[in-house]
Structure 1
Amino acid sequence: MARVSQAHLDARRRQILDGAARCFARKGFHGTSMQDVLHEVGLSAGAVYRYFSGKDDLIAAIAGEAVGSVRQAFEEAARVSPPPTPDVLIGRVTRTLFSGESRGMDRRAYAGLIVQVWSETLRSERLAATLGEAYAGLRLAWAELVEVYREAGILAAGVPSDHVARTLIATAQGFIVQLAMFGDAAPEVLENGLRGLMSMDLQKIS
């Protein structure tokens, strides 16, 4: 029997994950059955179960990828030297995350899938651990970036770096939720809003 190449195995796994993600985006995690996934990907049960033990395993894999996509988008945007200001940085993150179609879904459907992943952590300790680890790493990476802002003299020393990092992450999360719920969120809106807030003259308020 001819040996199956790693490229073929990877492509088949990708086919299954993408098909499952489309099902989950349409019907939700709990509204989707394994039969729905099998029909979507056009494979036998044996072919699918070779890669994933069941629906929870598929959900965990998709959750890991969704979190990884968000983290990668942040890291790629922050890798520019000198680092861009927060408004530009958040804009780059959201454009990278939602550029083109992902897994055959439009950007609103993909945003909805990410939100489903987040909500599923309230039920699954496995997902909560996966996302918690990724979130901790993201906070650390962004706290380091905030220190770069501080060293450049463009950020005051009084606010803890982790607080700024968590606020930036929350801004991106809020954009994803708006996109999933209403479909009208755009990176330009986020950039302009942040730019407006950054331009406030606090001396006139105090």
Structure 2
Amino acid sequence: MARVSQAHLDARRRQILDGAARCFARDGFHGTSMQDVLKEAGLSAGAVYRYFSGKEDLIEAIATEAVNGVRRAFEGAARDTPVPAPDVLIGRVSRSLFADGLESGRGLEPRAYAGLIIQVWSETLRSERLSAALTEAFGGLRGAWTELVGLYREAGVLRADVPDEHVARALIATAQGFIAQLAMFGDTGPEVLENGLRGLMSMDPVKAG
């Protein structure tokens, strides 16, 4: 029997995840059955269960991918010299995140992909397994952002009395809020986030105080 290549295995796994993501974005986690995923992916039960034991496995994989996608975008930005300002940085990361939703076979528009991410966050409130997986992924993301904030401090553009991690958490919260607004209202985009941050960054602290 011919040995199946790793590239083939990876492509099949991607096919399953993309099909599941489309189902979840369209009908929600609890409105989607494994039969729906099989049909969307165009695969047999045996082919799918070779990679995933059920919906919870699929949800965890999709959730971890989304978090790691943001982390990779920030790690990539951190390699730029000089490091981009926060408005440029978060705009770039948000575009990268939603490009992930459109790539391959997912074909999810930004609002649909944002809605999928919101579902993932909600699911962590009932699934200890997913909560643990995302907590670990979030730790890596927070570490990457904290490292990036450290580069701002080294460049002398950040005040010294605010811990790097606090700034990192505020940046993460900004990105999360953007995702929530996009999912619920669909009337925003990366350029709105960039412009808003640029406006806040231009405030004179003396006059504002």
TM-score (norm 1): 0.95
Which residue matches 1:57? Answer: 57
Identity %: 78
* CA shift for structure 1 position 27: 0.7
Matched residue SS, 1:99: helix
Paired positions, count: 206
Q: Give the counterpart letter for 1:123 in structure 2.
A: R
Matched residue SS, 2:192: helix
Which residue matches 2:156? Answer: 153
* CA shift for structure 1 position 91: 0.8
Whether contact under 8 Å (2:70, 2:97) holds in the other structure is: yes
Which residue matches 1:6? Answer: 6
1:111-170 per-residue CA deviation (whole Å, 9 max, x = no partner) reads 111111111111111111111112112222222222221222211111111111000011
Q: How does 1:1-206 map to 2 (within 5 A)?
A: 1-99=1-99, 101-102=102-103, 103-206=106-209
Matched residue SS, 1:84: coil
Q: How far, CA to CA, are the matches of 2:58 and 2:150 in structure 1?
A: 38
Q: Give the counterpart letter for 2:92 in structure 1.
A: R
Whether contact under 8 Å (2:66, 2:97) holds in the other structure is: no
Deviates more, 1:96-105 or 1:74-83: 96-105
Q: Give the counterpart letter for 1:91 in structure 2.
A: G
CA RMSD of aligned residues (A): 1.4
Task: Please list every run of 5 or more consecutive structure 1 residues that lacks an aligned counterpart in the other structure.
Answer: none
* CA shift for structure 1 position 2: 2.0
Whether contact under 8 Å (1:78, 1:89) holds in the other structure is: no
Q: How far, CA to CA, are the matches of 2:151 and 2:50 in structure 1?
A: 46
* CA shift for structure 1 position 76: 1.8
* CA shift for structure 1 position 105: 1.2
Task: Please list every run of 5 or more consecutive structure 2 residues that lacks an aligned counterpart in the other structure.
Answer: none
Q: How far, CA to CA, are the matches of 1:159 and 1:133 in structure 2?
A: 25
